[in-house]
A and B are shown apart, each in its own frame.
Chain A
Amino acid sequence: DSGVTQTPKHLITATGQRVTLRCSPRSGDLSVYWYQQSLDQGLQFLIQYYNGEERAKGNILERFSAQQFPDLHSELNLSSLELGDSALYFCASRAGGANTGELFFGEGSRLTVL
């Protein structure tokens, strides 16, 4: 158990819909990362938050947005969903400060868009 909690574990929805994925980081971790894993693209970095502030952005579509709340949990919002958005979405957290920088991943939210 990594200590990172993601909900829901599975989600099936239709094209054009909007979903919200939720992540609770490990206790004390200030950084939250979101990754998308699909068969054709591999594991792609989407966005990172640190203590409530956006820190880095990767290949995140404009239809996607995220935020980190004062209690450090994070949400990834996916809107106007397309078939190609079907993927496993991971949240990961990292301790702040000088450390090796390894990420601790949640179990992922598997999104299926029909």
Chain B
Amino acid sequence: AQKITQTQPGMFVQEKEAVTLDCTYDTSDPSYGLFWYKQPSSGEMIFLIYQGSYDQQNATEGRYSLNFQKARKSANLVISASQLGDSAMYFCAMRESTSGGSYIPTFGRGTSLIVHP
């Protein structure tokens, strides 16, 4: 079973508008973390935002916010005031603690976001 599901292969948004990228996850670990990464066409993976399973408030980092709905196991990324430079692949990831105490992030298949001028 997929641990991270991103159902939107591609999304389009007008510049300056907000966009929500969906992510649902599956885990039985009570302590987990959720991440979003951005991968522009140049290829590097850029960390955007983190949400811990025990965090009471939604994480925010500048124009990025994470809409964390624990009961629904969803961790959607909201980008406000989209910019042309936001065009990229976006990956949702989850880390669980393994029996060895390590943290191995698992990634979704990604959503391609294109921002139109």
Contact = CB atoms under 8 A, between A and B. Distances in A.
A86 B110 CA distance: 19
Interface in B27-43: 33, 35, 37, 42-43
Contacts of B52: 100
Nearest to A100: B50
Given A42-B110, A50-B102, A56-B102, A101 B95 contact: yes
Nearest to A58: B104
Interface of A: 2, 31, 33, 35, 42-43, 45, 48, 50, 55-56, 58, 88, 90, 92, 94, 100-108, 110
Classify the secondary structure of B's interface with A: strand
Contacts, number: 61
Interface in B73-117: 91, 95, 98, 100, 102-110
Interface residues of B, number: 24
Q: Output the residue of B47, B104, B108 with the most chain A CB within 10 A.
A: B104
Nearest to B103: A101
A86 to B, nearest CB: 14
B102 A103 contact: no
Contact of A108 (B37, B44, B47, B102): B44
Given A56-B100, A88-B43, A101 B105 contact: yes
Contacts of A103: 35, 45, 47, 105
A94 B44 contact: no
Contacts of A107: 42-44
A43 B43 contact: no
A43 B107 contact: yes
